[in-house]
């Protein structure tokens, strides 16, 4: 099993301990905590779940159960941040975050790295009350919003990216 992250129709911003993804089609914003973001970054169609667990262990310097990867993939699937749903193994039981927390808390001395994908509805253009800087527009952040220029322009998509036009 080698999951593949969806990137088409998304605007992604990496922050210090989380990743923000804005879905241009559904007008929803997602916040991935560090664990979920690390899993999503390794959903390249080549990395297996076992390899993801190993990479996450190395990044966080703590043991990671493969069930943590499954929980992250389920949340990414629900947020539609994967190209295709990852079929849950028939033999495996699905765990909620609460059940996973209970299960992991029984193991003393292990840092809990539960993935979390939060979702909020982003305002439509008419509801937006702020403007977008030209530098942000050129990175396609704020498509459709008014630009912070005296020329009453909007951030629009052009051939190679976006521009205040």
Q: Is the pLDDT of residue 127 over 60?
A: no
Residue that is written with structure tokens 């028939």 in the block:
90
Domain residue ranges in the chain = 10-121, 125-164
Per-residue pLDDT tens over the stretch 24-65: 888 889 999 888 999 999 999 999 988 999 998 898 888 888
Q: Are 144 and 155 in contact (CB under 8 A)?
A: yes
pTM of the model: 0.63
Task: Please tell me the distance from the alpha carbon of residue 132 to that of residue 124, in angstroms, as a whole number.
Answer: 14
Per-residue pLDDT tens over the stretch 94-113: 555 566 555 554 443 444 56
């Amino acid at each position: 099993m080698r999951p593949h992250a969806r990137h088409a129709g998304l605007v992604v911003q990496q922050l210090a301990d989380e990743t923000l993804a804005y879905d241009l089609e559904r007008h929803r914003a997602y916040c991935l905590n560090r664990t979920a973001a690390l899993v999503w970054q390794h959903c390249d169609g080549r990395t297996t779940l076992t390899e993801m667990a190993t990479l996450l262990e190395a990044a966080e310097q703590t043991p990671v159960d493969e069930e943590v990867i499954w929980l992250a993939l389920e949340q990414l699937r629900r947020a539609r941040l994967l190209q295709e749903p990852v079929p849950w193994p028939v033999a495996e039981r699905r765990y909620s975050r609460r059940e996973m927390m209970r299960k992991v808390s029984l193991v003393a001395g292990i840092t809990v790295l539960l993935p979390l994908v939060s979702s909020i509805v982003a305002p439509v253009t008419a509801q937006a009350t702020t403007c977008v800087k030209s530098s942000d527009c050129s990175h396609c952040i704020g498509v459709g919003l008014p630009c912070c220029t005296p020329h009453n322009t909007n951030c629009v998509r052009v051939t190679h990216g976006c521009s205040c036009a």
